[in-house]
Structure 1
């Protein structure tokens, strides 16, 4: 673990740098053109400076997991390339023009119609179902970790992903960007399951509908308060084991009893509200699987999900570079990709 033989990898000089596109969880992301084919790819530079021994475990985890996953809604890892310096390593991914956070942030009105949102949720849940059926938890699903390219949504950034099995192992509770973090994780549960990704999918669906994060907490206590205000306070009756969660004893949280999904999302049909409520179920054991959610009635009612071939193909002219209209939760979950000034040097170090 943490050791990888890079001698068989191609040189990064097989690629010509086009521009620096942003910062990922653990490194810079470049847009680059393969010199032999002129195909465009995304190159993620792996930060090696903090690693005394071998390949960073975060990057190694992403590399190992992505090499085991092949799905149209999961970003494709093509290869690993190395720079002239031994500590310069890049992961080469298929290139996707946008992350979903940038798409939403650049639009004052919802950029996707109801039919398009349904198609995006089918794509997201299909990718999540495949991931879970291959025993992988993503653990950081959020808008900026979803890419959009030519009508297709793709899950990316597997730096916090873990393989899991039965019985559940204890994991660190400090995962998932705060706004998308499930209540069992916020309350200190150490043994958690694929259900934590489903909660994040619910937050993503609500954000697509509202064109804003639905639970933008400033701290863990504030996050729980927003959840309780939206869904009503949980209880032992609806969530067995809730009262014994380690984080609960030290907190004073609102005891309001009402679910306010209908008030917050007046445009959603009864089936749409049920779909959201299912993903935001307090008890993780009762949250449906991604595969089950793909069969939900909301996908069978009008407007039907837009056919994949009819999804919008956005251009750079469509998505104007505007100031972020909301400050994202960078301290909790890593820096979101942001467009950067083009680097004059077309060679990688």
Structure 2
């Protein structure tokens, strides 16, 4: 008589079959609702899961038979499959068909840009925290939204603009710095419309890569453009805007910068899945352009 060990972990094939039987990995499990946006290689829809009845975001990536899935899509999937973090949108499911690869994300009402638009691009300085690192990567790829709005080069680092093909996390950190400035000032730091114009705007602030300006000079320039930023904020911003990719501050070191000292030491002890707002004393402040009745609205961001 054969004894089956019920505690034995499922093999990868068995797990895949079990998930498929539930409904995961199947397009018929999801209903498309509104079209939210369109990019270079993907279209995003608001959708609904027939399994849970919850709203989802369906990112439908078109597959070219000659080339297969775009490398950007492969990278996104491989990263998100491993990530479970309160500040990163959750990837619930992947549906692979002959014509498309659909990523099923949790649905959020708005992204950082929409949140800022709702507040007239004027946030309380207490609310300028970095909780959307992935946005820097997403904005680094030229694309168009469904309304034909062009996403610009504003967040692309100079090493990439000058032709570097070597990817590293430090590339993202340049974009984080640009977004940090924009959250504080309500306007982009380097709003170039072409590669040459983008580089010229960067050179005016930082100097040329061969002869970069002294840190003190860069700090003065940034302070004149962003009078709402105090010295600690300017110091953090210059850490992001280093010409050499390897010299840019990392995400973890950035969070330990003196600018974030007021958050207290508990933020560094949070588990990945816990929100920063679970720390006693940390809450959003009323934004200057928002009425008191809406001051308690929670911040929601989409990658």
One fold, TM greater than 0.5? yes
1:288 matched to 2:249? The reply is: yes
Distance 2:117 2:140 in 1: 14
Q: Secondary structure at the match of 1:180?
A: coil
Q: 1:22 to 1:191 in 2, by over 3 A?
A: closer
Superposed displacement of residue 259, structure 1 = 5.0
Q: State whether residues 126 and 285 of structure 2, in contact with CA within 8 Å, keep that contact through their aligned partners in structure 1.
A: no
Distance 2:218 2:54 in 1: 55
Aligned partner of 1:70 in structure 2 is 84
Return closer, same or farther for 1:13/1:192 CA change in 2, 3 Å cut-off. Answer: closer
Aligned match of 1:117 in 104, 128, 135? 128
Higher CA-based Rg: 2
- 2:5 is aligned to none
Which position in structure 1 is the counterpart of 2:11?
A: none
1:224 is matched with 199
**Superposition TM-score, scaled by structure 1 size:** 0.60
Match of 1:41 in 2: 56
1:179 equivalent in alignment to 2:154: yes
Q: CA deviation at 1:58?
A: 3.8
Deviations 1:293-338 (A, max 9, x none): 111111124999996253489xxxx8xxxxxxxxxxxxxxxxxx9x
Question: 2:41 is matched with which residue?
Answer: 26
Aligned residues: 247
Question: Contact 1:80–1:90 (CA<8 Å) still a contact in 2?
Answer: yes
Q: Give the corresponding residue for 1:213.
A: 188
**Per-residue CA shift, 1:130-185, capped at 9, x if unaligned?**
xxxxxxxx74456999xxxxxxxxxxxxxxxxxxxxxxxxxxxxxx9511111222
In structure 1, distance between residues paired with 2:118 and 2:205: 26
Inter-partner Cα distance in structure 2 for 1:257 and 1:270: 12
Q: How well do the aligned residues superpose, as a CA RMSD in angstroms?
A: 3.8
On the 8 A contact 2:219/2:234 being kept in 1, the answer is no
Deviation at 1:266, TM superposition (A): 0.9
In structure 2, what is the equivalent of residue 61 of structure 1? 75
Unmatched tracts of structure 2, length 5 or more: 1-15, 144-150, 268-274, 287-293, 295-301
Per-residue deviation, 1:52: 3.4
Give distance in 2, aligned partners of 1:289 and 1:89. Answer: 32
Structure 1: gaps (5+ residues): 1-5, 129-137, 146-175, 240-255, 319-336, 338-349
Give per-residue Cα distances to partners, 1:194-234, cap 9 Å, x unaligned: 22111111001001011121111011111111112223344
Deviations 1:86-105 (A, max 9, x none): 42542111111112223334
Q: Normalising by structure 2, what TM-score?
A: 0.68
Tell whether the 8 Å contact from 2:205 to 2:222 is kept in structure 1 after alignment: yes
SS at match of 1:81: strand
Q: 2:238 maps to which residue?
A: 277
CA drift at 1:10 = 3.5
Q: Which of the pair is proportionally richer in helix?
A: 2
